């Protein structure tokens, strides 16, 4: 059985103080249904990807909450996997279609983060780490900084090369009307930005964001649909200290290998990828873990523009602007990545269109790599 994305949409991403989660959900789901040209009565189940509604908003039971809000009186589920909640919701939706239980479902990824002060959001996000890491006063920038330092030590990766990831992704975001940031950055600006968790600086970090994204999935290949060729999840230990490897995210590597096998493709055939650049170093790790570049070679390639729109001769990475430029409402991100790939594969991505895009890969990570989700989409 083949699974297709029939419709896809995102809201504006950003600091949306005047917009409620209900409004974000309505906006993204109604646009996705319209895009798929189906009525809400045809929807048989709703999968909601979200991480922080309980800890920040005090609201759990999100399946029923959004089913009511959207006027979809169907089976509804909240799926949580930290910043991979969106990707995990998609995976569960795909499985529900493969099982034959439903024929048409909606996946909503959503997060409202800017109602709360950054220290509280940082604390809540640390719910994705290990207890040992929370007791150490670690933060997610801090954990990725520990990985960055090891990668720099082993492969000679430089802070300037990490900065080049943010520069590229802000350039892409400047071409995306729904992105949180439209300003261009220079390596010097990134290098001069305030230190958050050495060696990572403010402009190495994805922002705190609000936003939602939705897709309609079904077993029907209606016009404008994109096929989901693989949907794979892998896990690793919650905490960094228990990992076998510290210069890669092993869960990403394992999920990618299996996804390529299922799709019958190699990394070299991917034309466009949306990867989890929660911090600049995370995109470097992803490029190597997903097999796009050999170990230790990705940072220099990114710096040379080998994954940038207009200068890449092969794969383009994070044309949406990625988490860094487009924004990172954590539960929405994994779904937004797929929305971007649908736009790219349909050829409707406007100024940020990747030429001849035929195969897309989405890579969504939870925590410091404890969950990795890889989706491969094809025209």
Partner 1 sequence: MSEEAGQPLLYIFLKNNMQSPVKIWRNQKNIASLVGKTGKILSWTIVRVPPGDFTDQAPYPVVLVELESGKRVTCQLVDYDDAHLTFGQRVVTIIRRVTHPDPDGVIPYGIKAKPLV
Task: Write the secondary structure of 139-163 as one string of H (helix), E (strand) and C (coil).
Answer: CHHHHHHHHHHHHHHHHCCCHHHHH
CA distances in angstroms from 314 to 8, 245, 261, 269, 273, listed in the order given: 25, 29, 21, 9, 11
Among 83, 205, 278, 326, the active-site one is 83
* Contact pick of 22, 116, 258, 295 for partner 1 (by CB under 8 A): 116
Residues near partner 1 (CB under 8 A), total: 42
- 363, 369 contact by CB (below 8 A): no
- By CB under 8 A, which span of 15-23, 133-141, 228-236, 344-352 interacts with partner 1? 133-141
- 225, 32 contact by CB (below 8 A): no
- Is 245 among the catalytic positions? no
Closer residue to partner 1 (CB): 68 or 198: 198
* Interaction between residue 145 and partner 1 (CB under 8 A): yes
Closer residue to partner 1 (CB): 133 or 283: 133
**CB burial readout 101-124, b (16+ within 10 A) else e:** ebebbbbbbbbbbbebeeeebeeb
* Contact pick of 74, 103, 150, 265 for partner 1 (by CB under 8 A): 150
- By CB under 8 A, which span of 36-44, 66-74, 237-245, 359-367 interacts with partner 1? 237-245
First-residue to last-residue Cα distance in the chain: 16
Phi first, then psi: what are they for 31, rounded to 5°?
A: -65, -40
Over the window 180 to 219, marking each residue x when it contacts partner 1 by CB under 8 A and - when it does not, the resulting string is --------------xxxxxxx-------------------
* Interaction between residue 317 and partner 1 (CB under 8 A): no
- By CB under 8 A, which span of 81-89, 235-243, 269-277, 324-332 interacts with partner 1? 235-243
Q: How far is the CB of 245 from partner 1 (least distance, A)?
A: 12
Which residues from 26-85 bind partner 1, rule CB under 8 A?
55-56, 58
Among 151, 328, 363, 375, the active-site one is 328
* Interaction between residue 244 and partner 1 (CB under 8 A): no
* Interaction between residue 122 and partner 1 (CB under 8 A): yes
* Interaction between residue 134 and partner 1 (CB under 8 A): yes
Which residues from 330-359 bind partner 1, rule CB under 8 A?
none
- 248, 289 contact by CB (below 8 A): yes
Q: How far is the CB of 135 from partner 1 (least distance, A)?
A: 4
Closer residue to partner 1 (CB): 88 or 197: 197
Q: How far is the CB of 368 from partner 1 (least distance, A)?
A: 10
* Interaction between residue 294 and partner 1 (CB under 8 A): no
- Is 328 among the catalytic positions? yes
* Interaction between residue 20 and partner 1 (CB under 8 A): no
- Distance in angstroms (rounded) separating the CA atoms of residues 2 and 124: 38
Phi first, then psi: what are they for 9, rounded to 5°?
A: -160, 150
CA distances in angstroms from 252 to 234, 265, 275, 288, 363, listed in the order given: 7, 16, 10, 10, 8
Closer residue to partner 1 (CB): 153 or 266: 153
Q: Give the residue numbers annotated as catalytic, written as ranges.
A: 83, 328
The residues that touch partner 1, with contacts defined as CB under 8 A, are 55-56, 58, 116-120, 122-124, 126, 130, 132-139, 141-143, 145-147, 149-150, 153, 194-200, 239-242, 246
């Amino acid at each position: 059985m083949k699974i297709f994305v029939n419709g896809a949409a995102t809201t504006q991403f950003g600091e949306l103080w005047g917009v409620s989660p209900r409004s974000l959900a309505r906006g993204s789901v109604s646009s996705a249904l319209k895009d798929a040209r189906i009525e809400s009565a045809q929807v048989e189940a709703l999968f909601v990807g979200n991480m922080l509604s309980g800890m920040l908003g005090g609201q759990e039971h999100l399946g029923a909450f959004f089913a009511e809000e959207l006027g979809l009186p169907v089976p509804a589920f909240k799926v949580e996997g930290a910043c991979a909640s969106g990707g995990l919701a998609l995976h569960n939706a795909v499985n529900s279609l493969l099982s034959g239980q439903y024929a048409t479902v909606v996946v909503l990824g959503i997060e409202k983060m800017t109602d709360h002060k950054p220290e509280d959001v940082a604390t809540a996000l640390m719910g994705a780490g290990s207890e040992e890491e929370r007791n150490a006063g670690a933060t997610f920038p801090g954990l990725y900084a520990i990985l960055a330092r090891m990668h720099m030590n082993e492969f000679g990766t430089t802070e300037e090369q990490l900065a080049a990831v943010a520069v590229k992704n802000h350039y892409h975001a400047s071409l995306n009307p729904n992105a949180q940031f439209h300003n261009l950055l220079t390596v010097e600006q990134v290098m001069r930005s305030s230190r958050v968790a050495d060696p990572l600086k403010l402009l190495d970090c994805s922002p705190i964001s609000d936003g939602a994204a939705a897709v309609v999935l079904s077993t029907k290949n209606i016009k404008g649909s994109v096929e989901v060729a693989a949907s794979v999840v892998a896990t690793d230990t919650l905490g960094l200290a228990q990992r076998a490897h510290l210069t890669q995210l092993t869960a990403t590597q394992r999920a990618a290998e299996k996804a390529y096998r299922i799709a019958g493709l190699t990394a070299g055939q991917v034309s466009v990828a949306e990867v989890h650049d929660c911090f600049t170093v995370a995109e470097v790790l992803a490029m190597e873990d997903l097999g796009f570049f050999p170990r230790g070679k990705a940072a220099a390639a990114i710096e040379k523009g080998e994954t940038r729109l207009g200068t890449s001769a092969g794969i383009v990475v994070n044309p949406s602007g990625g988490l860094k430029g487009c924004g990172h409402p954590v539960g929405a991100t994994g779904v937004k990545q797929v929305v971007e790939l649908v736009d790219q594969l349909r050829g409707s991505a406007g100024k940020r269109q990747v030429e001849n895009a035929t195969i897309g890969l989405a890579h969504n990570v939870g925590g410091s790599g404890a969950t990795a989700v890889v989706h491969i989409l094809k025209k």
